[in-house]
Structure 1
């Protein structure tokens, strides 16, 4: 099978492509950035918004794994989120339908559901917070509408939580946490009792392939998060232990942190500098993202890497590769 992987230079793409190759598939990687694994049979450098790029990528294709998306908490405006995550997905779907390509995996996000203290399953209502989550929610609807119109269409929608692991980018939350603790720049904000679900990259790839190989007609939607779920306090304690660093006993009250973040936000607006402390990051750190991924486990999936091993592998990668 010839499979197109969009966002092929990202963390998921660079791990997914070798796994698909090992299963005998022919792979076309598409990305604006360099870094698509050399094992891909064909690499398309370009923007998916460009019709010529989509045409080249989809030539003789049988399926599409759509990973590409705008995702960051700094420097991306709402219009960009909706263009990259919704409009480009719409164009990709339209071109694929013209070519009778109807097998899909779409990487959405738990952000399409919104945060919450209580664990939320696939049956929960979608209440996204912000443009990123809203754009992902609306992109999911495109695939559901598609399935209503084309009975032979098949799409696995995967909603992972924060993806981390060796090779993840500097703007990701777990990377920032490890770097802050490693550089003695971290102080705990609040009591640390927010639930923070995460998704280790090896587990995400395993879940993706498990669902893909068992796909059916229509749309199948699954949340993926590692188990057991952890609080921020537990996550922070583990990173300190793995880095073999002594943890300071000082905590910053949430109210004071918000005041500091407000000053940083004003400074960032004036200077254009991405400061490590922002109001959005303070709120995100202290807001639970609690999701119930029991559905995929009830299908028989077993998480291959336990959370402690996942964190250890990630921290070791940082120590070896990040200056």
Structure 2
């Protein structure tokens, strides 16, 4: 089978390329940036918004794992989110259908569901908060419409929570948290009782391959989060412990922190600098993202890496690789 992996230079894509190759698959990587593993059979460097890039990538393909997306919490406007995550997906689907390529894995996000205090499963209503989550929700609908029109179509939609692990990007939340604690720049804001579900990279890869091997016709949607889930208080305590640092007892009230962050937001607007503290990041830190991933476990998937080991590996990578 010839599998196209979009976003093949990213944290997830680069690892999936290697795992598919280990399973004897022919793999085509597609990305705007270099970094796709050299084991790939073909690398197409370019923007998927361009028809020529899509046509080159899809030539002779049997299946598509669609990871490429706009994802950051600063510096990306709503128009870009909808173009990169929705319109480009629409174009890719149209070109794949024209070539009778109907086998998919689509990486959505729990952001398509929106945050919440109570754990929610795949059956919960989708109430996204912001352009990123809304663009992912609408992209999911493209695949659902596709499945209604093409009975032989198969698509695994995976909604992971925040993905972290060795090599994760500097804009990711867990990376920022580790580096803030490591550099003595962190103070707890709020009561620390928000639930924060996370997804360790190797567990996400394992879940993807597990579902891929058991895919069937139609749409199969699964949430993935690591278990057991943690509060922000627990996550912060664990990072301090793994870094061998003593946690300060100071805690900033949430409303005071938001007021302080407002100044940083104004400065960011004036200077174009991505400051580590923003009102939006403080709000997200204190908002629960609680999801129920029991469905994939009921299918027989077992999380290969425990959360303690996952966080330890990630912290050790920071100590070795991040200056």
TM-score range, shorter chain: over 0.9
Q: Residues of 2 paired with 1:179 and 1:54: CA distance?
A: 38
Q: Deviations over 1:72-127 (max 9, x none)?
A: 00000000000000000000000000000000000000000000000000000000
Q: Which residue of 2 aligns with 1:90?
A: 90
Cross-structure match for 1:233: 233
The CA distance in 1 between the partners of 2:17 and 2:197, in whole Å, is 25
Distance 1:167 1:16 in 2: 14
Q: State TM-score, norm by structure 1.
A: 1.00
The whole-number CA distance in structure 1 between the counterparts of 2:31 and 2:89 is 14
Q: Structure 2: how far apart are the matches of 1:28 and 1:260? A: 47
C-alpha displacement at 1:14, in angstroms? 1.1
CA deviation digits over 1:142-177, x for unaligned, max 9?
000000000000000000000000000000000000
Shift of 1:252: 0.7
Name the counterpart of 1:275. 275
| Whole-Å separation in 2 of the counterparts to 1:30 and 1:288 | 34
Q: Which residue of 2 aligns with 1:200?
A: 200
Name the residue aligned to 2:157: 157
Which residue of the partner structure matches residue 63 of structure 1?
63
Q: How far apart in 2 are the matches of 1:8 and 1:34?
A: 9
Unmatched segments (≥5 aa) in structure 2 = none
CA distance in 2, matches of 1:171, 1:288: 20
Question: Which structure 1 residue ranges, 4+ long, deviate > 2 Å from structure 2?
Answer: none
| Residue aligning to 2:111 | 111
Deviation at 1:285, TM superposition (A): 0.1
Q: What is the TM-score of this pair, normalised by structure 2?
A: 1.00
Aligned position for 1:42: 42
Which residue of 1 is the match for residue 10 of structure 2?
10
Q: Name stretches of at least 5 consecutive residues in structure 1 with no aligned partner.
A: none
Q: Please report how far the alpha carbon of residue 275 of structure 1 lies from its aligned counterpart in structure 2 after TM superposition.
A: 0.5
Aligned partners of 2:27, 2:15: CA distance in 1, in Å? 13
1:218 is matched with: 218
Pairwise mapping of residues 232-311 of structure 1 onto structure 2 (< 5 A)?
232-311=232-311
Distance 1:239 1:136 in 2: 30
RMSD: 0.4
Match of 1:316 in 2: 316
* Number of residues of Structure 1 aligned to a counterpart in Structure 2: 323
Aligned match of 1:22: 22
| 3-state SS of 1:9 partner | coil
